[in-house]
């Protein structure tokens, strides 16, 4: 497994952008991202913020989503933070894993939501059904970089 892309954005609803590296901060998220600053769309008191630190999307999801919707979306449109090539949930699901200096743990799935459908004017509930990715927490802070390999901790 390899980190293909890192995607962040400072404000809710604003366009996201790619970065080559980022500081992953335990208990906060990715430095420079809206959830790190507590300004994400789902940063609301009634929602569990412990699952908002990082979102992960398998690389292969984009092609499947575009096929389902007959669209030409980019990873930026799917609004997930880390895009991982050859992602293997079965290997990672009950373990901590490292990406360069940082350690992560998957805490739940990241199903599609109506918010994303409204934002893109696409049926993302259908496009990402059962393939919406995962949410993870940062167990140990550190810098991560595009191209890093994912290792079991």
pLDDT in tens, 68-116: 999 999 999 999 999 999 999 999 988 999 999 999 999 989 888 788 8
CB-facing half-sphere around the CA of 7: CA atoms within 13 A: 21
Number of other residues whose CB lies within 10 A of the CB of residue 38:
11
CB-based burial label for 95 (10 Å; 0-12, 13-18, 19+): exposed
| Sign, CA torsion 49/7/142/107 | positive
Q: What is the pTM of this model?
A: 0.90
DSSP 43: -
Average pLDDT, the chain: 89
Enclosing H/E stretch for 119:
helix 114-120
* Residue predicted with more confidence, 36 or 133: 133
30 DSSP β-pair partners = 24
Taking CA atoms, 86 is separated from 90, 106, 150, in Å, by: 12, 16, 10
């Amino acid at each position: 497994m390899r980190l293909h892309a890192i995607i962040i954005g400072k404000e809710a609803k604003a366009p996201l952008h790619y970065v080559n590296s980022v500081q992953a901060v335990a208990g906060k998220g990715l430095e420079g991202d809206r959830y790190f600053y507590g300004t994400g769309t789902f940063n609301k008191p009634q929602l569990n913020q412990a699952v908002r630190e990082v979102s992960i999307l398998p690389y292969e999801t984009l092609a499947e989503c575009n096929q389902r919707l007959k669209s030409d979306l980019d990873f930026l449109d799917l609004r997930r933070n880390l895009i991982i090539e050859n992602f293997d949930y079965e290997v990672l699901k009950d373990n901590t894993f490292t990406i360069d200096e940082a350690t992560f743990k998957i805490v739940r799935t990241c199903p599609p939501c109506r918010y994303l459908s409204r934002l893109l004017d696409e049926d993302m509930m259908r496009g990402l059904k059962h393939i919406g990715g995962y949410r993870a927490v940062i167990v140990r802070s550190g810098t991560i970089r595009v191209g890093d390999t994912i290792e079991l901790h």
